[in-house]
Structure 1
C-alpha cells in the first residue's frame, strides 16, 4: 500500500486526508488537535494520527521515523507549513532518504501572500523528490470577496495532486486589491 503524510491534515485538509485514504493510501496525519486527529483516524482503518507540532523538531523527527518504520516510506507528502518550510522539508527529505531510495512527491500548500518563486529557490530540492506548489487564494463574489472554505481548499488540493503540475492555484489572487 502507498503511504501518504499530510501535515496539517486534521483541519482544512481533513477532506484531503480522507480522499487519500479512499485512493488506497495508508495516510499518516500530523496535527496538534488530538480530538480532530482521533475523529479522522476513527473513520478509516488506513488512517493513523500523529499528534505532534512540526515546529518541535525533535518530536517531529521522532514521529516521522516511527511513522516510516511502522508503515513504510512516504510516496506522497502534503505539507501545510507556516513560515519558512525549508528546514522541515529538508528534515523530511533526509529521513525518507535514509529509509528508502524511491522518489516521492511533495505538495507544498502555501498561503495567498506567499512568494512562490522565493520558495522554489529556498527549498534546495534534491533528486529524491518532486516538488509541487499549491497556493491558496480567495474567491470574488458579486457581494465582495471571501477566503476559501475548508471544502474549497481540500478540493483544490485534491485537484493539484491529480493534476500533477508544478503549480496549482486554488481560487484567485487577482486583483490583489480585492482580497478579503
Structure 2
C-alpha cells in the first residue's frame, strides 16, 4: 500500500497493528490523547508519522485536523460505540478505493434495548452504500482457556486487525463470542 494511513485510538492495545499499518503507508497520522509522546521505536516509521494529540471527544477539532491530511487510503479506528456522527464524518475522509477497519468491542454486535439493530449492523449497512470504500470490522471477543475465559490480550487484538489489513472480511471475530454467558466478568 502507498498513501496515507489514519490510526485513530491505536496507541494502546492496537499499537502493533498501528505499526503494521505505518509500515505499509507512505505517511501515517496517529491520533490519540497521548499521541504526542507516542513512538513506534523505529526511526523510519516515526519519521513518516504525524502525531495529533487530540481526543476524539473534541469532534470539531479532530475533524479539522484530519481534513488537512485526508484522504486516507487506510483507516484503522477504535472509538466509542455510539459516536455515529464522528464515524460518518470519518467515512467521508477515506479515499475512493481505500479501506476502513473499525475495531469494536463485543457488545457492538448486541441489539439495542428496544430491539434496535446493533452498532456493528448499523455500520455495516451504512458502509454497504459506499461501494468505493472497502469496509471491515474487527469485533473483540474472549478466549476459553484452561476451563476459564479471559479477554483478548494486545497481541491477539492486533493480530486480528492486521489480518483485516491483509485479507479483509466484512466482519472478523477476534476470539469467540459464544457462549455469551461464558465471557469474563
TM-score when normalising by structure 1: 0.84
Match of 1:64 in 2: 66
Corresponding residue of 1:76: 74
User: Which is richer in helix?
Assistant: 1
CA contact (8 A) 1:133 1:168 kept: yes
Distance across 1 between alignment mates of 2:164 and 2:61: 29
After superposition, what is the alpha-carbon deviation per residue over 1:84-124, rounded to whole angstroms, capped at 9, x for unaligned? 2431122123345xxx6x32211111101112324323567
- Runs of at least 5 residues in structure 1 that lack an aligned partner in the other structure: none
Aligned to 1:145: 149
Per mean C-alpha deviation after superposition, the further-off stretch among 28-37 and 143-152 is 28-37
In structure 2, the CA distance between the partners of 1:95 and 1:165, relative to structure 1 (3 Å rule), is closer
CA distance in 2, matches of 1:8, 1:133: 15
1:22 Cα deviation from its structure 2 partner: 2.3
Please tell me whether the aligned partners of residues 80 and 110 of structure 1 are also in contact (alpha carbons under 8 angstroms). Answer: yes
Matches within 5 A, 1:1-180: 1-34=2-35, 36-37=37-38, 39-40=39-40, 43=43, 44=45, 45-68=47-70, 73-96=71-94, 102-115=96-109, 116-121=120-125, 125-180=129-184
Q: Distance between the aligned counterparts of 1:4 and 1:157, measured in 2?
A: 14
